Amino acid sequence: MSTIPPHALQSSQPPIIPLDFNARQPQTIRLYPLSNYTFGVKETQPEEDPSVIARLKRLQEHYAEHGMRRTCEGVLVCHEHNHPQVLMLQIANAFFKLPGDYLKPDEDEIDGLKQRLDERLAPVGSLGEGEKPVDWEVGDCLAQWWRPNFETFMYPFVPAHITRPKECKKLYFIQLPQAKVLSVPKNMKLLAVPLFELYDNTARYGAQLAAIPHLLSRYNFEYVDENGQVVAHTPGAGAPAPKVKVLAGEDDVDMDKKKQEEDSYADA
């Protein structure tokens, strides 16, 4: 058996060592495991409008009286198996949305968002004992979506021919604490949706929700276990792929089967 002489492994052209790529790292966000949070249900919160047409009519009435409507929604992120998951609501097994809603005309933006988050997710009864109201940590504004007319379409820019958009929706990153109790109205589901499920999935979630992985790519993440120890950094690897989970609300359904049956109108 022959051996390779040492000089044969040498080269007159030494390998080029790449420069460090960590000079301008984005902000690092700490994510806590899904198992750190407690989920419950509370009284039904019926939708204000029975249909999309009724919703747009109410928007038209609001615009006539107050001008452009302001809406704020929160992007709440935790992790499972070292992969980010976004908490969102599902209504009638079809309509997906982030927690939040439109603001009153005279309401401060951040205070109003905290109030909307409490209305949707704050615990009640025994689950709410010891929980402080309006303790949400509102972070960066991730995106602005504009509704140019009294219709369902919204855009991440104001079209050039539009001088008076009818609604502006802002998405804010919400830094979840290490542990928290959340309650969802009985007529809704609270889901934990992995980023890979949202990515490029406009057919199911609509353009706004499908864009969330792009919006969160501005951050690095570090993943903390139930004992408060950092166990992984972006990117995570070697863990099983998480799935969409129903955390609270209506009875469980086969989410994979629903994918084939539902037509999402999340941008409405």
Q: What is the pLDDT of residues 192-231, one digit of tens each?
A: 999 999 999 999 999 999 999 999 999 999 999 999 999 9
Write the pLDDT tens digit of every residue in 106-116. 999 999 999 99
Quote the pLDDT of residue 263: 47
Amino acid at 223: Y
Q: Using CA atoms, how far apart are residues 245 and 88, in angstroms rounded to an integer?
A: 11
| Per-domain boundaries in the chain | 25-261
Write the pLDDT tens digit of every residue in 140-161. 999 999 999 999 999 999 999 9
Which of the four pLDDT bands, split at 50, 70 and 90, describes residue 254?
A: low
- 21 exposed, middle or buried (CB, 10 Å; 0-12, 13-18, 19+)? exposed
- The size of the chain, in residues, is 268
Helices (H), 99-220: 109-121, 195-198, 202-210, 212-216
Write the pLDDT tens digit of every residue in 168-200. 999 999 999 999 999 999 999 999 999 999 999
Residues ≥6 apart with Cβ < 8 Å to 233:
28, 220, 221, 222, 223
Torsional sign, CA 245, 248, 252, 256: negative
CATH architecture of 25-261: Alpha-Beta Complex (3.90)
Name the more confident of 22 and 81. Answer: 81
Q: Using CA atoms, how far apart are residues 108 and 73, in angstroms rounded to an integer?
A: 14
In 3D, which of 241, 167, 252 has the Cα closest to residue 208?
167
Quote the pLDDT of residue 47: 83
Quote the pLDDT of residue 265: 45
Beta bridge partners of 169: 71, 145
Residue 99, pLDDT above cutoff 60 = yes
Residue 266, pLDDT above cutoff 80 = no
Quote the pLDDT of residue 68: 97
Residue 104, pLDDT above cutoff 60 = yes
Inter-residue contact 154 to 167 (CB < 8 Å): yes
Residues ≥6 apart with Cβ < 8 Å to 132:
none
Q: Using CA atoms, how far apart are residues 142 and 238, in angstroms rounded to an integer?
A: 29
Quote the pLDDT of residue 236: 47
Q: Using CA atoms, how far apart are residues 167 and 169, in angstroms rounded to an integer?
A: 7
Percentages (nearest 5) of helix, strand, coil residues in the chain? 25, 30, 45
Sheet holding 220-224, edge to edge: 28-31, 220-224, 230-233
- Strand runs (DSSP E) across 25-124, as ranges? 28-31, 38-42, 69-80, 83-91, 95-97, 100-102
Residue 63, pLDDT above cutoff 50 = yes
> Can you read off the two tokens belonging to residue 143?
């995106």
- Alpha carbon distance, N-terminus to C-terminus of the chain: 73
What are φ and ψ of residue 258, in 5° steps?
-65, -30
